[in-house]
């Protein structure tokens, strides 16, 4: 089982911020967050190295630019659970940082992995990448092939701990195969990126951790964005993140019901 994790909107970040700031602040935070996700312990005093991140027995780990590859070390239930749990931790630990929010696609299939020579090949990796790139939020989802590998008892018990999963209507970019063609007032096709479809899928439930309830405001100055603040598709992704948190997170539901 493999998970492809991409930073949401990284191209925009790369073109709009000094590279030194991205490396020092965004990726400095990210390396420490990833260490905690992979080791389940506080990071060392220095920024973790690639070797620090790889030296653990939970999941396989590779990193290039804004893409991280996680893969199960064993082809069994325990390996799958650790991969999904780690993916959940990654989203949870980065969701409040707009510069390092992740989209994750999880797939299953035969892959060729040679960590020593940094070679990672397989249809499952391509499928996971495609799934993450279609998602209109910071979050994660499983392909149908991957869902078939999830133990049946977990579904019957509503995904007990430590299976960080939830059945959810995942927001995806429409494609031609969805049979949807949007047109403007002049009957000209509108780019698929502006059309969102929702499919019931197994989504990664990154809200499963006990945490202080937090409001996912657009910024320190504004609770919600306006059309002048960002492109339409960026605002839609942010709204989908908030909607998922509001619908799924039991901790936040309890908190807001107490103060209302």
Render pLDDT for 28-86 as a digit per residue (tens, 0 to 9). Answer: 999 999 999 999 999 999 989 999 999 999 999 999 999 999 999 999 999 999 999 99
Residue 214 has pLDDT above 70, yes or no: no
Helix, strand, coil share of the chain (percent; to 5): 40, 20, 40
pLDDT in tens, 12-26: 899 989 999 999 999
45: its two tokens: 């005093």
* pTM reported for the whole predicted model: 0.87
pLDDT in tens, 92-112: 999 988 889 999 999 999 999
Q: Which domains does the chain have, with CATH numbers?
A: 2-259 (3.30.70.1230)
pLDDT value of position 2: 98
| Mean pLDDT over each residue of the chain, to the nearest integer | 87
Alpha-carbon distance 104 to 85, whole Å?
A: 12
At 200 the three-state DSSP class reads: strand
- Let me know the angle formed at the C-alpha of 219 by 173 and 134, rounded to the nearest 5 degrees: 10
Residue 232 has pLDDT above 70, yes or no: yes
Residue 193 has pLDDT above 60, yes or no: no
Residue 126 has pLDDT above 90, yes or no: yes
């Amino acid at each position: 089982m493999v998970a492809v994790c991409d930073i949401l909107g990284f191209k925009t970040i790369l073109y709009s911020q000094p590279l030194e700031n991205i490396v020092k602040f965004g990726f400095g935070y990210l390396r420490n967050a990833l260490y905690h996700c992979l080791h389940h312990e506080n990071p060392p005093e220095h920024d973790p190295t690639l070797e620090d991140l790889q030296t653990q027995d939970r999941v396989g780990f590779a990193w290039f630019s804004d893409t991280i590859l996680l893969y199960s070390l064993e082809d069994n239930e325990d390996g799958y659970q650790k991969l999904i749990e780690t993916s959940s931790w990654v989203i949870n630990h980065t969701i409040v940082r707009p510069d390092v929010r992740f989209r994750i696609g999880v797939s299953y299939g035969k892959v060729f992995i040679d960590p020593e020579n940094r070679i990672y090949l397989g249809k499952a990796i391509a499928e996971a990448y495609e799934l993450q790139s279609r998602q209109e939020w910071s979050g994660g989802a499983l392909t149908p092939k991957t869902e078939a590998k999830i133990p049946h008892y977990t579904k019957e018990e509503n995904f007990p701990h430590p299976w960080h999963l939830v059945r959810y209507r995942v927001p995806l970019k429409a494609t031609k195969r969805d049979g949807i063609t949007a047109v403007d007032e002049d009957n000209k096709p509108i780019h698929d990126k502006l059309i969102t479809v929702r499919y019931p899928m197994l989504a990664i439930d990154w809200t499963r951790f006990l945490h202080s309830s937090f409001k996912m405001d657009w910024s320190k100055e504004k609770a919600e964005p306006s059309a002048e603040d960002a492109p339409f598709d960026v605002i839609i992704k942010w709204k989908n993140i908030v909607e998922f948190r509001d619908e799924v997170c039991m901790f936040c539901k309890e908190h807001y019901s107490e103060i209302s």
